[in-house]
Amino acid sequence: MTATTESPLSAPSAPVRAAAGWTRAAELWTAVFTARRSTLLLLLAGAVLAPIMTAREMPAWFGQDWALALAGAAGLAIAAIALNLLTGYAGQISLGHGALLAVGAFAAGLATSRGHLPMWVGLPIAAVASGLVALVIGFPALRLRGLYLAVVTIAFGYAMYNSVLRLNLFTGGSAGVELTRRLWGSVTVVDQAQMLAGALVVLVLAWQLDGNVTSSRLGRAFRTIRESEPVAESFGVDVARYKLFAFVLSGALAGVAGAVIGFTVYLVNSETFFPSVGVDYSLILVIVVVVGGLGSRAGAVIASFVLALFPFVIGKYLGDSSPLYGLAPIIGAAMLIFAVARHPGGFAGMVRERRERRGPRAAAVAVDEPAVAAVPQMPKPVSLRARVPDSSSVPVLRVEDVTVRFGGLVAVDGASLEVRSGQIVGLIGPNGAG
């Protein structure tokens, strides 16, 4: 036996490895941002024209209080899409997304209030800032999973709330940071209904981005990692790289959501996303994603609007003193328990189950379906010889002293058997293989 060694010249050089890395990065970028040309043009036209066309109509459709509540619900829906991308698609648990929302909100506030930049420039700045922070959080995701990963994200949120978000240098301390709704120059958005129009446009763009991810190679890799990381690796998926990319993409989208919520309420501080009384945004997002259905974009958006608007509707029509007004967190927790106990797939899974049960029932009662054609009776060929009668006394197969080896493993050692007509004989070993 001769040993062969690979020459160093045969290994890929550094420029070749760098080119391969840039190629994979380009594939990921294309998978995320590739869309049909008509759909992309329609979304861009809507993003430009919707706020202009609705500047006068939106205030007539919604009051200021309704517009404020709906804009906040739209921001929560964007955050739910971000967490669903990480947990529902890639299977990575995060209990600290509220901190990423805060990073995006503070970044947008610093850009608009201190940097005097327009609001639509603050949104991508929020995405970049939260994406970079998520990149730091994502490195433990390369080695951790399940409960340990959840503990890391909780620790991150706790550290952000108790230290970083209280620094005067970045967040203004307890005073917080103002988010200026500047469009350009001295033109600002004052009406809440117009802010609602902009929030809905951002929600549509986030929906389209998430749709591109799910229908691409990137989304298929995420779902494979969620089901089984060893299986994903066997199919050639770079698990570490894709998990890290899932954290960064989800964090960037969460930053945009935090900026939308911040622009809606004008001012953010350390208590905005981590209230001292009530449930913080991290747990609210987990409830929304689980109740809506892990992996369901529509379920996450619907659950976000329901959970965000429930306290507002109760307070508006029944009063803040109504017992139901303070029960919103309890009702959300009850919905989470019900979803986990009865429908682990959430609202989307419940609808899918009922649709599947209704399908066979509808097919059974359908009367307009054509009848199945009868199989024609083929005549027996004249030249076919008559069948020889079976004889159970004579075996049709006899095996004696068979030995099977797989390398050094003896699988079958001296096996003998007989099979007579009409019999089914199987050979099964101690481990169940046959």
Q: What does the pLDDT look like over 66-118, one tens digit per residue? A: 888 888 999 999 999 999 998 888 888 888 888 899 899 999 988 888 888 98
- Among the residue ranges 13-22, 123-132, 180-189, the one predicted with the least confidence is 13-22
Phi, psi angles (nearest 5°) of residue 418: -130, 140
Q: Could you tell me if 408 and 390 are in contact, meaning their C-beta atoms sit under 8 angstroms apart?
A: no
Q: Could you tell me if 316 and 65 are in contact, meaning their C-beta atoms sit under 8 angstroms apart?
A: yes
Confidence of residue 61 (pLDDT cuts 50, 70, 90): low
How far, in Å, CA of 33 to CA of 14, rounded? 28
Dig out the tokens for 260 from the structure.
Answer: 């939308």
Confidence of residue 416 (pLDDT cuts 50, 70, 90): confident
3-state secondary structure of 272: coil
* Cβ count within 10 A of residue 1: 2
Per-residue model confidence (pLDDT) at position 1? 42
DSSP state of 85: I
Q: Which residues pair with 417 in a beta bridge?
A: 399
Q: Closest Cα to residue 74, out of 292, 265, 259, 301?
A: 301
3-state secondary structure of 184: strand
Q: Which residues pair with 405 in a beta bridge?
A: 410
3-state secondary structure of 118: coil
Q: Which residues pair with 395 in a beta bridge?
A: 420
- The model's pTM is 0.69
pLDDT above 70 (res 429): yes
Q: What is the largest CA-CA distance in the chain?
A: 103
Per-residue model confidence (pLDDT) at position 198? 85
Q: Could you tell me if 266 and 259 are in contact, meaning their C-beta atoms sit under 8 angstroms apart?
A: no
How far, in Å, CA of 219 to CA of 345, rounded? 19
Sign of CA pseudo-dihedral 128, 134, 136, 138: negative
What value, to the nearest 5°, has the Cα angle with vertex 325 and ends 179 and 82? 45
Please enumerate in sequence order all residues whose Cβ is within 8 A of that of 298, keeping only pairs 6 or more positions apart, or say none.
Answer: 292, 348
How does pLDDT run across 326-382, given as a tens digit for each residue? Answer: 666 677 677 767 766 776 677 776 777 777 777 655 555 544 556 666 767 777 777
